[in-house]
Amino acid sequence: MTVAQRKPLISSGTSHRPTVKKIAMTSVVAVIAIAFLIPFYWLLVSSLREPQRIFADAGQFFPSSLTLQNFRTVFNETPVVSWFANSVILTVGSTVGSLVVVTMAAYALAQIRFPFRNTIFVSILASQMLPFHLLLIPLFLLMIQLNLIDTHLGVIVPMLAHPFGLFYMRQYMLGLPQAVFDAARVDGASDYRIFFRIVLPMVKPALATLAIIFALEQWNDLLWPLIVMRSEGNYPLSVGMTTLVGLYRPRWDLVIAVAVIAVVPIMLMFVLLRKQFINGLGQFGTGTK
Amino acid sequence: MATDTTHADARSGTSPRGRKPKRPFLHRPAVVAMVFLLPFLVLYVVFRVYAVGYAVVLSFQEIQGIGSSEWTGLDNYQRVLTDRTGFTALRNTMLYTIGTLLVLIPVPFVLAAILRSRWVARQSMFRSILFLPVLTSLVVVGVVFSLLLSTNGLLNGFLGLFGVPAQAWLETRHLAIPAMIIMATWRWTGINIIYFTTGLSNIPNELYESAAVDGAGPIRQFWHLSVPLSKPIILFVTVLTIFGGFQLFVEPLVLWGSGGGPGQGGLSAVVHLYRTAFTSFDLGYASAIGVVLAAIIMVFSLIMLKAFGFFAKDR
């Protein structure tokens, strides 16, 4: 499933010079693309305005003066460095954890025959259809009972069993050449050996795709960390921003600076791994969490 | 691939899987399967299966503080039926979901078709640009659009060029949902373009070629080939959009806190649940709201699947 570049309409093959139609259509698309870029520009430019100009100049395309004042303030007045570190910890922790758990389970479901295999698989998959809000209160109470409130583990652990991740990895493993596994078994290799020596190297592309999806989901998530994390020093960036907006007098100068800090790492990753991002997310129902 | 043939004792393992009776315990297929499956299964059973059951149990209780609860039967569900704020929240959420469906299916579909036609240059660059918002967190979306939709903000400035008077998008009750639909359009168009592009590229080229031979122009090809043959992917995106729409939470929370905005015009069902649970600490009642909302989402998704004839095929 890749984003194919095939043209749906027969290419006339007569001339390669851009036609009027082509120029017109491309211009229309370009205008839409520019409109989609404006919010990014606006975020950046607003972060560089003086605090009192942020809303006063909210309609000014070009700022009268630029300043890094907001970034200085955010470093002085908020634990934004801790927030960033927490976002990194949560993202790395939940990504690595999910990959381990999902890959192991996918191997069992793809390669080993055992009783109730399909029943287990289908019921796990069906749970993807559970809206997350339904789990909110029971999980909150569970975290209290497990003493995991206000801890990184409390944010990470309940989300590790990712049903669609399991589905994706299982499908990928089913697509591997069966002959390799049969040969290894004939040679007397155990399942443990097969898993580490054969399967893991072969599923690297799937691991990369899932890593991008898990990481992006966790980096951007608000609802669950908002409930688990109680003390300011434990917030990830998303929760930090939300509390700054939620103040009696919202501190937009700080909010916007944090928003820039939250967006830049993802944009850098996207520049490096554009294809993987688009193909990976294109295979997933994202935003269902 | 290295298959490790060092102890090439090929005769001993005649059949690949589990037919030999005398395997060590840890190498029996069922045991091996359990070892691999166990971490996922434990997490799944505790944090999904048990949690859902727990949510249903809680919905029949009144919780006074953590640890003390009282069975109240169907009281919570009766309260749901007479919860006027709840109905406002549900109506808002449905309007938002319908609005996003009306925008986020046709617009990305047409864009996907245009973006792979021979009339557009630099296709993958444009696709990447439209994809960028998909990477941003919904919190950031809320923050940016607080600026863009403010009364003297860019959108009003743009509309002013066409003589539209400035709107207080975020302070007017009936504009709260349209404002969030505008945000959703920016946030989700790119990913839906990718879904539809994948769907469209699975349609065989020969169909377009023979349609062209029969004299069908691009518009007719679009309506009579692209649209009907994309039915499965349209269904997929529709269900995703319904599912996401009903779970609207972050944007209203960032824009208006848990208060629901002007005249509660921006109160979503999940914000209502969140407020009931974590501001009023009425956990039993909030659970009942959650169960009812989940049921509504299921029913809507099933209706959509039925409408698209999903159950007619044997899949």
Model pLDDT for residues B279-313, shown as the tens digit of each residue:
988 999 999 999 999 999 989 888 888 887 776 65
Does residue B11 surpass a pLDDT of 70? no
Question: How many separate domains does chain A show?
Answer: 2
pLDDT in tens, A59-110: 888 888 889 999 999 999 999 999 999 999 999 999 999 999 999 999 999 9
Same domain, A132 and A174: yes
CB contact under 8 A, A131 and B120: no
What is the reported pLDDT for B8? 38
Does residue A11 sit within a domain?
A: no
Average pLDDT score over chain B: 88
What is the reported pLDDT for B304? 83
A121 at the B interface (CB within 8 A)?
no
Residues in chain A with CB shorter than 8 Å from the CB of B37 are 104-105, 108-109, 120
Q: Which of B10, B46, B55 sits opposite A137 (nearest CB)?
A: B55
Residue in B41, B125, B140 to test binding to A, most A beta-carbons within 10 Å: B140
Does residue A4 surpass a pLDDT of 70? no
> Is the reported ipTM for this assembly greater than 0.85?
yes
What is the reported pLDDT for A129? 82
Nearest by Cα to A227 from A132, A162, A117? A132
Residues in chain B with CB shorter than 8 Å from the CB of A173 are none
Does residue A288 sit within a domain?
A: no
pLDDT in tens, B67-76: 678 888 889 9
What is the reported pLDDT for B9? 40
β-bridge partners, B63: B69
Same domain, A155 and A250: yes
For B314, left (φ over 0), alpha (ψ -120 to 50), or beta? beta
Residues in chain A with CB shorter than 8 Å from the CB of B240 are 285, 287-288
Higher pLDDT, A7 or A157: A157
CA of A78 vs chain B CAs: smallest distance (Å): 18
Question: Alpha-carbon distance B36 to A184, whole Å?
Answer: 18
Confidence of residue A279 (pLDDT cuts 50, 70, 90): confident
Does residue B120 surpass a pLDDT of 60? yes
Does residue B109 surpass a pLDDT of 80? yes
Does residue A13 sit within a domain?
A: no
Residues in chain A with CB shorter than 8 Å from the CB of B250 are 222-223
Same domain, A161 and A183: yes
Q: What CATH number does residue A195 fall under?
A: 1.10.3720.10
Residues in chain A with CB shorter than 8 Å from the CB of B131 are 277-278
Confidence of residue A16 (pLDDT cuts 50, 70, 90): low
What is the reported pLDDT for B259? 86
Question: Alpha-carbon distance B61 to B284, whole Å?
Answer: 5
Measured CA to CA in angstroms, residue B156 lies from A53, A222, B161, B177 at distances of 18, 29, 9, 17
CB contact under 8 A, A3 and B198: yes
Residues in chain A with CB shorter than 8 Å from the CB of B30 are 114-115
Same domain, A46 and A122: no
Same domain, A242 and A151: yes
> Cβ(A256)–Cβ(B124) under 8 Å?
no
* Burial of residue B53, with CB atoms counted within 10 A of its CB: 0-12 exposed, 13-18 middle, 19 or more buried: exposed
Measured CA to CA in angstroms, residue B267 lies from A250, B92, B193, B228, B254 at distances of 19, 7, 29, 37, 12
> Cβ(A63)–Cβ(A44) under 8 Å?
no
CA of A288 vs chain B CAs: smallest distance (Å): 6
Question: Alpha-carbon distance B194 to B130, whole Å?
Answer: 10
Where does chain B show beta strands of DSSP type E?
61-63, 69-71
A144 at the B interface (CB within 8 A)?
yes
Same domain, A48 and A139: no
Which of A67, A88, A106 terminates a domain? The answer is A67
What is the reported pLDDT for A150? 97
Confidence of residue B16 (pLDDT cuts 50, 70, 90): low
- Range with lowest mean pLDDT among A135-144, B9-18, B51-60: B9-18
CB contact under 8 A, A262 and B27: no
CB contact under 8 A, A46 and B51: no
Does residue A74 sit within a domain?
A: no
Does residue B127 surpass a pLDDT of 70? yes
What is the reported pLDDT for B3? 41
CATH of B78-307, one of 1.10.3720.10, 2.40.30.10, 3.30.110.40, 2.30.110.10: 1.10.3720.10
CB contact under 8 A, B186 and A39: yes
Which range marks the domain in which residue A34 is found? Answer: 20-67
Question: Alpha-carbon distance B193 to B133, whole Å?
Answer: 12
Confidence of residue B66 (pLDDT cuts 50, 70, 90): low
What is the reported pLDDT for A44? 95
Same domain, A51 and A122: no
What is the reported pLDDT for A75? 96
Q: Average pLDDT in the B165-187 region?
A: 95
β-bridge partners, B70: B62
Does residue A237 sit within a domain?
A: yes
What is the reported pLDDT for B112? 96
CB contact under 8 A, A185 and B156: no
CB contact under 8 A, A130 and B143: no
Higher pLDDT, A174 or B7: A174
CB contact under 8 A, B49 and A127: yes
**How many of the other CB atoms lie within 10 Å of CB of B65?**
8
Does residue B21 surpass a pLDDT of 60? no
What is the reported pLDDT for A194? 92
Confidence of residue B25 (pLDDT cuts 50, 70, 90): confident
Question: Alpha-carbon distance B271 to B251, whole Å?
Answer: 10
pLDDT in tens, B196-229: 999 999 899 899 999 999 988 888 999 999 999 9
Does residue A262 sit within a domain?
A: yes
CB contact under 8 A, B126 and A184: no
Q: Average pLDDT in the B243-261 region?
A: 92
Does residue B6 surpass a pLDDT of 60? no
CB contact under 8 A, A18 and B121: yes
Helix (H, G, I), strand (E, B) or coil at B18: coil
pLDDT in tens, B229-248: 999 899 989 989 999 999 99
Same domain, A108 and A249: yes
Same domain, A84 and A63: no
CB contact under 8 A, A43 and B143: yes
Same domain, A34 and A139: no
Residue in B with minimal Cα distance to A130:
B294
Does residue B59 surpass a pLDDT of 50? yes
Domain boundaries, chain B: 28-73, 78-307
CA A127 vs. chain centroid, Å, equals 20
Q: Which of B27, B191, B218 sits opposite A286 (nearest CB)?
A: B191
Using CB atoms and an 8 Å cut-off, which of residues 66-95 of chain A contact chain B? none
CA of B106 vs chain A CAs: smallest distance (Å): 15
What is the reported pLDDT for B141? 96
Same domain, A119 and A88: yes
Average pLDDT score over chain A: 89
Same domain, A105 and A232: yes
What is the reported pLDDT for B315? 40
> Cβ(B194)–Cβ(B236) under 8 Å?
no
